[in-house]
Amino acid sequence: MMSHDASEGSRIAPDGGGLVIRQETADDHRAVREVHTRAFGESERVPGLVEALRVAEAALASMSFVATVDDRVVGHVLLSATRVDAPRRIVDVLCLSPLGVVPEFQCQGIGTQLIAYALEAADSQGVPLVFLEGSPRYYGTRGFEGASGAGFRSPSLRIPEAAFQVARLSAHEPWMTGTFVYSEAFWAFDCVGLRAPEE
């Protein structure tokens, strides 16, 4: 789940000057809620998912990062614990979702830098795989590939095959294939796949 639509507004320096990516703190929670409310155009579903994932008990600790410009939180990315049901054993992995940037700072590379920072953090913790649902055109140049073609099964028929993406990190081994399993919060907030429009 991500947003990166174009919008006119504030600009960061071309070299990224003024942009800082750091670990989220409790003081950032209200600003992060605002980021996702504005990025996704809704008040509860995505911010609620973030809040649920922050406190969920899981085998891997979640990792949450904010992007700031002049001390203002303008973007956020969350990595949370999920699993792959591999033939040999359950593999603890991470899901990158949500990724949000406020509209006036979109299309300036902030999302790209948040993704890179998150993947590096996951890799440094020995996490073998990071999954997401998103645009292959966007994520395909940012470390991700089609998960189905890499040997993984989607957790829902409502996820378009092209949107089911994975990043294989340093700790990945060839036997680590199988079915990707979302944590309960993604189902509780209906943040898996696409729903058919109501008649």
pLDDT tens digits, one per residue of 47-106: 999 999 999 989 899 999 999 999 999 999 999 999 999 999 999 999 999 999 999 999
Could you give the CA distance from residue 65 to residue 75 in angstroms, rounded to a whole number? 8
CA-to-CA separations, 3 to 16, 29, 76, 95, 149, in angstroms, rounded: 20, 19, 11, 16, 25
Lowest mean pLDDT among 7-11, 129-133, 179-183: 7-11
Q: Which residues of 137-168 are buried (b: 16+ CB within 10 A; e: fewer)?
A: ebbeebbbebbeebebebbeeebeeebbbbbb
Number of CB atoms found within 10 A of residue 94's CB:
28
For the chain, percent of residues with pLDDT exceeding 70: 90
1: pLDDT confidence band, cut at 50, 70 and 90?
low
Rounded to a whole number of angstroms, the CA Rg of the chain reads: 16
Could you give the CA distance from residue 76 to residue 73 in angstroms, rounded to a whole number? 8
Lowest mean pLDDT among 29-33, 41-45, 53-57, 151-155: 41-45
Mean per-residue pLDDT, 18-32: 95
pLDDT at position 199 is: 59
Give 112-123 pLDDT, tens digit per residue.
Answer: 999 999 999 999
Query: Vertex 90, ends 88 and 95: CA angle to 5°?
Result: 135
Give 147-157 pLDDT, tens digit per residue.
Answer: 999 999 999 99
